Amino acid sequence: MPSYTAPTKDMQFVLHDVLGASTQDIPGYEEMDRDFTGAVLEEAGKLAQEVLHPLNVVGDTQGCKLENGIVRTPDGFKEAFDQVRDGGWTALDCDTQYGGQGLPYLMQTGVGEILSSANMAFNMYQGLTHGAYSAIHAHGTDAQKAKWLPKMVTCEWTGTMNLTEPHCGTDLGLMRTKAVPQEDGSYRITGQKIFISAGDHDMSDNIVHLVLAKIQGAPEGIKGVSLFIVPKVLVDDDGNLGARNGVSVGKIEEKMGIHGNSTCVMNYDEAEGYLLGDAHKGMRAMFTMMNEARLGVGLQGYAQAEIAYQNARAYALDRLQGRDVTGTKNPDGPADPLIVHPDIRRNLMDQKSFVEGARAFVFWGAMMIDRAHRNADEDADGLISLLTPIIKGFLTDKGFEYATAAQQVYGGHGYIEEWGMSQFARDARIAMIYEGANGVQALDLVGRKLAQDGGKHVMAFFDMVKSFCKENAEDETLKAGFLEPLKAASKDLQSAAMYFMQSGMKNPNAALAGSYDFMTMFGHVALGLMWAKMAKTAGGMLGDDGADRDFLEAKIATGRYYMARQLPATGMHLSRIQSGPETVMELEPTAF
């Protein structure tokens, strides 16, 4: 059976030593001192280890079942959900006006990693609720907010997001779900939505569906889409639950993973719904919280790699197989532990250097989101908008890749379900697909974000790397294996951006055919920057009284691995991009 321990020490290092959270000039951050975040993370870790993680395999094995129109969650989920609710874990960064705790999104992100590592499928029930909460909070009327939010903050009522239909996912302009206005100002919603995570279940009194639909007579395409609140159970003006609405579950999908989460086909049959935000501006409303939602999915990617890594490491330290070619390490045993073998280490270092770099990237991104929201900082908003598709796309690609690599450490034991390694890979796989498939993230990055505000934000990113390298040119730690690789990788990335600008003007396919490579190399540069920051911090702390030298030296060594063994990927991606769009576009469709 797999195990999980919340990596609170690594988290605290990022939060305080690297990011200096409590010293940041962001409202609310003054509370975020080391003791406070430490206590919160420790408590979340306890919940994760004692309650959520033991249910991870249960959820995978039992899945959700549709019985007489009602979805039954796996054994123990309901009780665990009560504990999460009672512990206040659903309300961390919610508005205090509606019962939330008003903590920074950064705090929510740290906790989110822990809960997501421990049980991704389970944590999605509250994650989806949080997304729906954010949409209502941003676009609802005061009356709507007062009616829906307090119960959603506590997850007494959970939420969902309904976008996809059988014939359209990415291209939502093709949507067919209809909304017919009623005399009382409400709408009747009719249509079918698919792939609705947490679409139905038995863990809350009500479910607040946010549904995209077209109002009769709306403009064609994506500009005619509106967003509606459609509750499972109707709620009167005093907040009492009334009759069932015209919402039903068509079926539960059988999936590759996240079996503990109910992925439903939802049928809306003249269901009563209430317009959220402006008519025909549904996409805008839905996308208000997109940066957060996509950062949350990127987090899922590395969170699965983290738990997979923890277990691969444990197995590599424990399993005796073969001998160290440079000299036996376990002479009294029948063989040496796996970890003596260079290729096992190579694999583990790939995982470890990715996960720790990704954590720093996501925490730093969460701080940008806080800065954008709490300080109304447009530069921070622009920067995180640029980086969001990279956080989502790169971290979920790599998260899956390394969950799979962790599985490999187990040999045949990794392939059988008993050891739990297969589940981490199968669960991680979805994060590459939902909330915008990763190819769409690459398109968003290259087709939209790069040129946004005249390219200001990508220039800001390059400047950030450049300034960092300049300011730390004499840093002893960074001189040894950090600055040169970072500069080289950043230069490759700039060359790629330059290629897009020059060639993409003539032929947009020149940029689009290289979009995926660009997203990936950007991810490497971002993680390279994070590693340089972490190494600098760790190097600076080595001389402190009582410094935890083993921990700090391991950070630096792990960072050096990333620079030496991962950053060279940028050259390859640049070559691919510069090879041009011709080989990608040459074949006639019928010749595939």
Distances (CA, A) of 19 to 22, 110, 300, 466: 9, 13, 21, 19
Q: What are the DSSP E strand ranges found in 88-203?
A: 157-162, 178-181, 187-197
Binding residue for its own copies, selected from 6, 21, 92, 194, defined by CB under 8 A: 194
Residue 1 makes contact with its own copies by CB under 8 A: no
Q: Is 558 in the site for its own copies (CB under 8 A)?
A: yes
145/426 with CB nearer its own copies: 426
Residues of this chain, 102-121, that bind its own copies according to CB under 8 A: none
Query: Interface residues for its own copies in 476-495 (CB under 8 A)?
Result: 481
10 Å CB burial of residue 325 (0-12, 13-18, 19+) is: exposed
> Which of 148, 290, 163 is CA-nearest to residue 214?
163
Distance, CA of 341 to CA of 431 (rounded, Å): 31
How many alpha carbons fall within 13 Å on the CB side of residue 148? 32
- The nearest distance, CB 47 to its own copies, in angstroms, is 26
* 169 near its own copies (CB under 8 A): yes
- What minimum distance in Å lies between the beta carbon of 256 and its own copies? 4
Residue 74 contacts residue 58 (beta carbons within 8 Å) = yes
The distance of closest approach from Cβ of residue 175 to its own copies in the complex, given in angstroms and rounded to an integer, is: 11
From candidates 453, 507, 540, 548, binder to its own copies by CB under 8 A: 507
Q: To the nearest whole angstrom, how small is the minimum distance from the Cβ of residue 496 to its own copies?
A: 13
96 near its own copies, rule: CB under 8 A: no
Based on the shown chain and the rule CB under 8 A, indicate whether residue 527 belongs to the binding site for its own copies: no
For its own copies, the closer CB: 220 or 238: 220
Q: Which is nearer to its own copies, 133 or 302 (CB)?
A: 302
Q: Which two tokens stand for residue 346?
A: 């190579």
Identify which of 160, 305, 300, 169 has the alpha carbon closest to the alpha carbon of residue 232.
Answer: 160
Minimum distance between the CB of residue 195 and its own copies, rounded to whole angstroms?
Answer: 5
Beta bridge partners of 566: none
Task: Output the DSSP codes for 174-212.
Answer: G---EEEE-TTS-EEEEEEEEEEET-S-SSSSEEEEEEE
Kindly tell me which residue out of 395, 513, 525, 534 binds its own copies, with binding defined by CB under 8 A: 513
Sorted by sequence, the CB contacts under 8 Å of residue 487 that are 6+ apart come out as 465, 469
Regarding 219 and contact with its own copies (CB under 8 A), the answer is no
Residues 359-418 that bind its own copies (CB under 8 A): 400, 404, 407-408, 411-412, 414-418
Binding positions for its own copies, 303-362, rule CB under 8 A: 313, 316-317, 320-322, 325-326, 334-335, 337, 339, 341-349, 352
Stretch 416-455 residues interacting with its own copies (CB under 8 A): 416-418, 422, 425-426, 429-430, 432-434, 437-439, 442-443, 447
Name residues contacting its own copies, limited to 570-589 (CB under 8 A): 571-572, 575-576, 579-581, 583-589
Segment interacting with its own copies (CB under 8 A) among 62-70, 128-136, 384-392, 512-520: 512-520
Q: Which residues of 336-366 are buried (b: 16+ CB within 10 A; e: fewer)?
A: bbbbbbeebeebbbbbbbbbbbbbbbbbbbb
Instruction: Report the residue number, 107 or 290, with the smaller CB distance to its own copies.
Output: 290
* Residues with active-site annotation: 435
Q: Which distant-in-sequence residues (6+ apart) come within 8 Å of 47 by Cβ?
A: 83, 84, 87, 89, 115
Which of 35, 67, 183, 254 is the binder for its own copies (CB under 8 A)?
Answer: 254
Q: Is 532 left (phi over 0), alpha (psi -120 to 50) or beta?
A: alpha
Q: Per CB under 8 A, does 183 bind its own copies?
A: no
Size of the site for its own copies (CB under 8 A): 98
Least CB distance from residue 59 to its own copies, whole Å? Answer: 15
Are the C-beta atoms of residues 360 and 534 closer than 8 Å to each other?
yes
Interacting residues with its own copies between 452 and 471 (CB under 8 A): none
